[in-house]
Amino acid sequence: MANPYVALKKLLPDQPLLIGTVTAFLSDGRSSVDVPGGVIVVRGQSVAVGQKAFVRNGIVEGGAPALSEQIIVV
């Protein structure tokens, strides 16, 4: 019988997908991204400054739709 915790871990992604606004490009090919909770520096400059971006594992994965944010506390 398989361990239920190990089976659950296989279903979940390793790193969370963050959505933030690109605030600046750095000279070394990285970008500064404003995410809920602070600003992070990630690799990649494929999204223009001022646009929303998907970020996972410290890398810009691409542009995100510019939708309004809703924070729901459960």
DSSP state of 32: E
In contact, 61 and 30? CB cutoff 8 Å? no
**Position 46 in a domain:** yes
* pLDDT higher than 70, residue 2: yes
User: What pLDDT is attached to residue 70?
Assistant: 82
- The parent domain of residue 33 ranges over 22-64
Alpha carbon distance 34, 8 (integer Å): 31
Q: Into how many domains does the chain fold?
A: 1
Question: With contact defined as beta carbons under 8 Å apart, do 21 and 33 qualify?
Answer: yes
C-alpha distances (whole Å) from 48 to each of 20, 56, 70 are: 12, 17, 23
Per-residue pLDDT tens for 15-49? 889 999 999 999 999 999 999 899 999 999 999 99
Q: What is the pTM of this model?
A: 0.74
73 lies in some domain: no
pLDDT at 67 over 90: no
Residue 12's pLDDT is what?
A: 84
In the predicted structure, residue 60 carries a pLDDT above the cut 90: yes
